Structure 1
Amino acid sequence: MSAEVSDSAADATGREPSSDRVLETGCAIVGAGPAGLMLGLLLARAGVEVTVLEKHADFLRDFRGDTIHPSTLEVLHEIGLLDEFLQLPHTRAPRLHAEIGGRDVTIADFSRLPTRCRFIAFMPQWDFLDFLAREAGKLANFHLMMGTEVTDLLPADQSGAALRARGPDGSLVIRARLIVGADGRNSIVRDKAGLQVESFGSPSDVLWMKLSHLPDDPPYTMGHGGPRQGFVMVDRGDYWQCGYVVRKGTFADVKERGLDDFRKVVAAASPLPPERMDEVRSWDDVHLLSIRIDRLKRWWKPGVLCIGDAAHAMSPIGGVGVNLAIQDAVAAANILAGPLRNDAVLDRHLRAVERRRIFPTKATQKIQVMMRRRRRSADTKDPGRSGPPAFMRFIARWPVLAHLTGRLVGVGFKSEHVAHAMRSIHIRK
């Protein structure tokens, strides 16, 4: 367990006295998503005392990033967990497809990647997170606190940083050499730390829904280009996870036109039989994902670091947000494990994490902004909605480019590899 100290010991640090329970740990990670749990697992393997805080009581939330990319599978291989992970139910996509002009087009081909697994694994994110939490839980120096929500960051002092949280047993203070915000695009850590966000906008939102998967359905995975709107299909085994792309901020207008109109318009963009949309029985079956592309101007301040969506929110195009989050976690673990073990985390170490990950972040976001551009329509009342994005039309003309997009989607601009010190387990329960 993380060390628990008395209130009198808390007063001796110079902070204001508090009746809160006080815990001490080496690294406090806020958010038990892919980045937070992977970072916690790797640091614990390296012998660092780690506490991960997750505000929800479980991982069961729909319409999250459910893609496990080849580079993430490579990380699992490097830490000896790949074979066990692939025992979990999943579907594999060696290629991603789209329908453009009535023709099936491969938009990403992973067959030439320099990785052990040349496919994307589609798996409910809660299964992935359960797996990481279970493996990390085998380590005596890893602690996961579910149902514990961070409410504030406290002033840092010579002993490190601190946060206040509210959990099942009441409020508490956690002190750590380092606080890592891995709590997503609405990060409380980056907000309370006062880190500035630079937004690049997005012209679209996605409306997610579930439709049944039947044996005679077309074998699409990831994309279908409708005549005027994008329609995304992710094969989840017994159902399709479908996304319908709309202009940003227009969901209220879509609802005002009525559910019957929505079913009809989506059915026209979908390759599935029109009657499949009857499964959308109310607006409760439609979930809005507001697309944002942004990043922090600086990812850190003394004692605090943000990674994953907390540092850079991505468009869901290609599911690359999870991939970048995992890569951030690996880079952070490689750079910070030694300083955390030695109680010597300095600003230069935090700066090194950002410098390591800033190029792939900027490059990926640049590509995502470009991928959303469309050729302007002749209909001036509906500019830019004449068909699939330009990059998809370009790949349709030059199929060899599918290997390039496969590289960008499957591995990214910079692939991180787990340091040898973390490929074996140092501390077990």
Structure 2
Amino acid sequence: MDETERRDCVIAGAGPAGVVLGYLLARAGLRVTVLEKHADFLRDFRGDTIHPSTLTLLGELGLREKFLDLPVTRLSRLDAVIEGQRMTLVDFGVLRGPDDFLVLAPQWEFLNFLAQEAERLPGFELLMSTEVTGLLHPDSASGGVAAETVLGLRARGPSGELQRRATLTVAADGRESALRSPAGLTPQEIGVPIDVLWFSLPQPVDPPPSTLGYLSSAGMVLTIDRGTTYQSGLIIAKGQFDQLQHAGLEALRARLTRAAPVLGHVVDTLTDWDQIKLLSVQMNRLPRWHRPGFIAIGDAAHAMSPMFGVGVNYAIQDAVALAHAITPALQRGVAPSATLARVQARRARPVRMMQGIQARGHRLIARSTQGQRVLPASAVSLIRLAAPVLRRLTARIIGVGLLPEHVPREAARGTDPKNVPKTSRN
């Protein structure tokens, strides 16, 4: 392909938001390029939860059963042990079928699946090992076009420098987006008092029911069931990692065992700090997501906490909302700023609400990092009594979301490339 060929949309970042957006636009007959700086999708401890709302979207696209044929784990209920008392806090089984469960799947499997489906479409281009380096703006001497207008992007790939000009440029390249600053967009940070240490542990010989986590004055440990292993996490105070390393692995293993005694027989598998990944928990959002010819979505627009595992699904919801809103305009060769503003207004509402819920949860969880009881005994008893009602509410908020998006019926016509309309524009 000629590197100067104009595209309808160019997307930085082949994470869930970028690949889903590229796929949806290419299904509509548009010409899309997605650029990813890594050579593959293999990364440890990324968001691996596919929530019921995303399963619904896959169903609307005719991809649900094909995706579920992959080796994935299905969870209908999520237990937690709070101050020593086990309770079911989420029951996806109360949701309308068939999407009444959560799927755990390595994110690279999910992205490979979507990318393979997208590459069947004639207008889709995926460039791996290609790092975005900047934006294209109009020549200041050309006149008639505002200097802040974005006309595409620059990148560096295996063959050297390249450009992709496009009607719309999208930053879907995560919380460390390379395009926000060049676009003149600066996120507002939301203070977070915790970080997470991620690691993998084998399941005990006689494991308990699937348990999301253990929370008490001894700490908080996550134990996400991955079949024969746990994707595990230890919540620590913000900036405490160096102190933990200085204390040594034996002290870390003892801390894990105090917080989650069920792990006592498997923590000895942690023998090297290289097995442990620090996730610096961050929450922020852009006051403005867009410029003429440009918009940020997903973590590039609003970094979410890992709490409830909703980040991937909110990013996908952004992509669906943007594709729905902008496709008719891109088919005419334009990307109106008013349309981009409406996308931000729609998606910013559920983001603000969820980040508010997460912030309150952080303050509660942070007590465990200080050796304090997280909840008084009366509150734990009240939660247990209210659990039947609570688990229905949490299933909706976590599994479906606060403003779920749907694929318009006219866009959900099957995945056969023969059904994809061809564009006649040059």
- State the TM-score, normalized to the length of structure 1: 0.90
Aligned partner of residue 93 in structure 2, secondary structure: coil
* Matched-pair contact (CA < 8 Å) for 1:139–1:428: no
In structure 2, runs of 5+ residues without a counterpart are: 140-144
* Matched-pair contact (CA < 8 Å) for 1:374–1:385: no
> CA shift at 1:260, angstroms?
0.8
Aligned partner of 2:409 in structure 1 is 420
- CA pair 235-177 structure 1, distance change in 2 beyond 3 A: same
* Matched-pair contact (CA < 8 Å) for 2:204–2:263: no
Paired AA for residue 395 in structure 1: I
Say yes or no: does 1:398 pair with 2:386: yes
> CA shift at 1:275, angstroms?
3.0
Quick one: distance in 1 between partners of 2:376 and 2:75?
22
Say yes or no: does 1:79 pair with 2:61: yes
Aligned partner of 2:357 in structure 1 is 367
Quick one: distance in 2 between partners of 1:232 and 1:66?
14
Quick one: distance in 1 between partners of 2:327 and 2:384?
45
Quick one: distance in 2 between partners of 1:262 and 1:176?
50
Aligned partner of residue 262 in structure 2, secondary structure: coil
Aligned partner of 2:164 in structure 1 is 174
Report the aligned-residue RMSD: 2.3
- Of 314, 322, 327, 1:324 maps to 314
* Matched-pair contact (CA < 8 Å) for 2:28–2:421: no
> CA shift at 1:125, angstroms?
0.4
* Matched-pair contact (CA < 8 Å) for 1:30–1:182: yes
In structure 1, runs of 5+ residues without a counterpart are: 5-20
Aligned partner of residue 313 in structure 1, secondary structure: coil
Quick one: distance in 2 between partners of 1:255 and 1:397?
40
> CA shift at 1:375, angstroms?
8.8
Quick one: distance in 2 between partners of 1:224 and 1:271?
9
Aligned partner of residue 163 in structure 2, secondary structure: strand
Aligned partner of residue 88 in structure 2, secondary structure: strand
- Identical residues among aligned pairs (%): 46
> CA shift at 1:217, angstroms?
1.1
Say yes or no: does 1:188 pair with 2:182: no
Structure 1 residues 255-334: aligned runs within 5 Å: 255-334=245-324
Aligned partner of 1:387 in structure 2 is 374
> CA shift at 1:179, angstroms?
0.6
* Matched-pair contact (CA < 8 Å) for 1:140–1:428: no
Quick one: distance in 2 between partners of 1:171 and 1:220?
49
Quick one: distance in 2 between partners of 1:183 and 1:87?
28
- Of 109, 118, 121, 1:139 maps to 121
Aligned partner of 2:399 in structure 1 is 410
- CA pair 104-25 structure 1, distance change in 2 beyond 3 A: same
Quick one: distance in 1 between partners of 2:171 and 2:97?
29
Aligned partner of 2:9 in structure 1 is 27
Paired AA for residue 414 in structure 1: L
Quick one: distance in 2 between partners of 1:428 and 1:329?
20
- State the TM-score, normalized to the length of structure 2: 0.91
Aligned partner of residue 22 in structure 1, secondary structure: coil
Quick one: distance in 1 between partners of 2:97 and 2:349?
21
Quick one: distance in 2 between partners of 1:272 and 1:117?
31
Structure 1 residues 337-356: aligned runs within 5 Å: 337-356=327-346
Quick one: distance in 1 between partners of 2:59 and 2:179?
31
- Of 9, 28, 44, 1:46 maps to 28
Structure 1 residues 69-218: aligned runs within 5 Å: 69-114=51-96, 116-156=98-138, 161-218=151-208
- CA pair 145-241 structure 1, distance change in 2 beyond 3 A: same
Quick one: distance in 1 between partners of 2:386 and 2:83?
15
Instruction: Render the CA deviation track for 1:174-211: whole Å, top value 9, x for unaligned.
Output: 10001111111111111221202111111100000100
